[in-house]
Structure 1
Amino acid sequence: MEIRKKRHGVLAAGFVALIAGVWACGGEDARADSSSAGDDVTAESAQESDIPDAILGKAPAPRGEDLAYFDADPSTVGYIVAPEGDGPFPAVILIHEWNGLVDRVRQVADALADEGYVALAADMYSSRIGTNRDENMTLMQEAQADPDRVIANLDAAASYLRGRDDVTGKVAAMGWCFGGGVALSFALGGESHEGTAIFYGRLIEDPEVLASIDHPVYGTFAELDGGIPPDQVNRFAGALREAGVENDIHIYDDVNHGFWLWVDRDPETAAAPAADAWVRLKSYLSRVIG
């Protein structure tokens, strides 16, 4: 198994500010693409059939298995699912929203397995799930209070995946809301990996900090998101470009925070941009991990 060295010097002001920021889920130059369409597919052509059943609320029960992957905390129980066949396959770590590892995230892992990826849905809350805003906030703040533990958790997930016989060794991380900010934190302070996909997660705008990222970055954001507004996303995209980090960052019109993972809450508005973001995600993962 290839040993990946941790990038030192990144767990400093920028990284700590990001991981400790308040993640609430509920510029002209170098700006992000702001549209309901990606490079290869228009919103008008995106149909519900292009969207995984998981984010439409139509997926069957999760078919994978629970997995205790973090030796430092046996109560950390993630979810693992693999494609059919012997592989080897590339791998993806999924990082949940602020409420914890719920079945919707497991079902997205199943959808990624259908696309040919070994998918590990990480557990950042030691098997706990929030059932309301107060509980979600408490769990999130507890995780924020120990950024080293957050990164150690994801390092363990990546190490587990690379140790599997059916994994190529290439790993990407993706997350939504709280998990999107954590995915960016992992790109800055975790073991080296090949991809980061951020869905409306907390951002950093310092190109000197972002320059430590050694792989392309994907981002999907929402025009109506008051917590991570378009001007902040545009500054993030500009900082990535200034740092020399290849990126595919899109802001989708007329949708709000959380639109992708929960299309079924507003399918008329969210279906087309979610389908486009899914096509972009699959293209991105194919490029960075195969």
Structure 2
Amino acid sequence: MNQEIINLFDEYTHVPLSREEFMKRLAKLTGSTAAAIAVLPLLEVNYAKAATIGEDDDDLVIESITYEGDGTTMRGYLTKPKTIATKLGSVLVIHENRGLNPHIKDIARRVAKAGYLALAVDALSPFGGTPANEDEARGLFGKLDAQKNLNNFLKGLDYLRARSESNGKTGCVGFCWGGGLANQLAVNAPQLNAAVAYYGRQADTQDVPKIKAALQLHYGGLDERVNAGIPAYEAALKDAGKKYELYVYDGANHAFNNDTAPTRYNPEAAKLAWERTLRLFKETLV
């Protein structure tokens, strides 16, 4: 697909543009309103393809949990191996700016299938949870109190460490908005053992010295918006002597790991990034 169209969709999902303005500009790029309507399903996510590991998987146990956040009750999707021979490392899974959806729940199941206690927290819990309408969900992110939101996820890490199945070691993996939050957790959670950020906003360079976790960063080579922050972030990480890995996948777009987003999903980059993610968790959480 035309890269200009993909970039426009990225602008729509992250600025965001109004639906009306997005469709008007999409029609201009595609040549007509009819062509824009035809292209739209190729851009938007299709959650029918979200389950690489089913909720009925015999090896997993799934729970809907709650815990006390910063002045609110947080909701989460917790999954773990059915058979546990020893205490488990824990991973906080952080969603994109669409909220807690079927794709992110599937990511949590992938983490659990690899042998960890996985918790996907719904950042929109203060508003009653993630709404079905994605435009509505995206609009709610701008209404989150940034400090309270960070506290809610820090308390999610506390919740995981307090679980009876936990070995006390915690990691996080976040995507897009969640990737940015993974960087923030690395700065603000000194007990965090590993933080993996997929195409997420970088932490402020002056905060880099606070990072204690092993850091792993994944970027799509075509993701100009997010990648603009890489040089300063990497320089700060090097200057501070931090343990980090940084990977840029040539030809990959923002959201390259999201297999429910047909035009942006890059199976080769996603496979390699996930292998690297699980390798880091094995090194730091077991």
Q: What TM-score do the two structures reach when normalised by structure 1?
A: 0.74
Mapping 1:76-91, distance limit 5 Å: 76-86=74-84, 87-91=86-90
Mapping 1:177-188, distance limit 5 Å: 177-188=176-187
- Alignment match, 1:24: 14
Task: Name whichever structure is richer in helix by fraction.
Answer: 2
> Partner of 1:259: helix, strand, or coil?
coil
- Alignment match, 2:229: 232
Structure exhibiting the larger radius of gyration computed from Cα positions: 2
> Partner of 2:210: helix, strand, or coil?
coil
- Amino acid corresponding to residue 53 of structure 2 in structure 1: A
Residue 244 (structure 1) shift:
1.1
Quick one: distance in 2 between partners of 1:201 and 1:241?
19
Residue 103 (structure 1) shift:
1.4
Task: Name whichever structure is richer in strand by fraction.
Answer: 2
Quick one: distance in 1 between partners of 2:200 and 2:272?
18
Quick one: distance in 2 between partners of 1:175 and 1:283?
16
Q: What TM-score do the two structures reach when normalised by structure 2?
A: 0.75
Does the 8 Å contact 1:25/1:177 carry over to 2?
no
Does the 8 Å contact 1:66/1:77 carry over to 2?
yes
- Alignment match, 1:59: 53
- Alignment match, 2:277: 281
- Alignment match, 1:139: 140
Does the 8 Å contact 1:151/1:190 carry over to 2?
no
Q: Structure 2 stretches of 5 or more lacking a match?
A: 1-12, 17-47
Structure number with the bigger relative contact order (C-alpha 8 A, sep ≥ 6) is: 1
RMSD: 2.4
Q: Deviations over 1:164-183 (max 9, x none)?
A: 12110000111101111111
Quick one: distance in 2 between partners of 1:225 and 1:277?
16
Q: Deviations over 1:30-50 (max 9, x none)?
A: xxxxxxxxxxxxxxxxxxxxx
Q: Is residue 2:94 matched to residue 1:95?
A: yes
Distance 1:72 1:215, change over 3 A: closer
- Alignment match, 1:107: 106
- Alignment match, 1:4: none
Distance 1:204 1:71, change over 3 A: closer
Q: Deviations over 1:102-161 (max 9, x none)?
A: 11111111111111100000111011236234x243211112xx2221122112211111
> Partner of 1:203: helix, strand, or coil?
coil
- Amino acid corresponding to residue 288 of structure 1 in structure 2: T
Residue 84 (structure 1) shift:
2.6
Quick one: distance in 2 between partners of 1:239 and 1:71?
31
- Amino acid corresponding to residue 68 of structure 2 in structure 1: F
- Alignment match, 1:189: 188
Mapping 1:97-246, distance limit 5 Å: 97-126=96-125, 127-129=129-131, 131-133=133-135, 135-143=136-144, 146-190=145-189, 192-204=191-203, 206=205, 208-229=206-227, 231-246=228-243
Distance 1:263 1:101, change over 3 A: closer
Quick one: distance in 2 between partners of 1:67 and 1:266?
34
Residue 264 (structure 1) shift:
5.8
Q: Structure 1 stretches of 5 or more lacking a match?
A: 1-22, 27-53
Count of residue pairs brought into register by the alignment: 235
Quick one: distance in 2 between partners of 1:137 and 1:151?
18
Quick one: distance in 1 between partners of 2:246 and 2:49?
20
Does the 8 Å contact 1:154/1:190 carry over to 2?
no
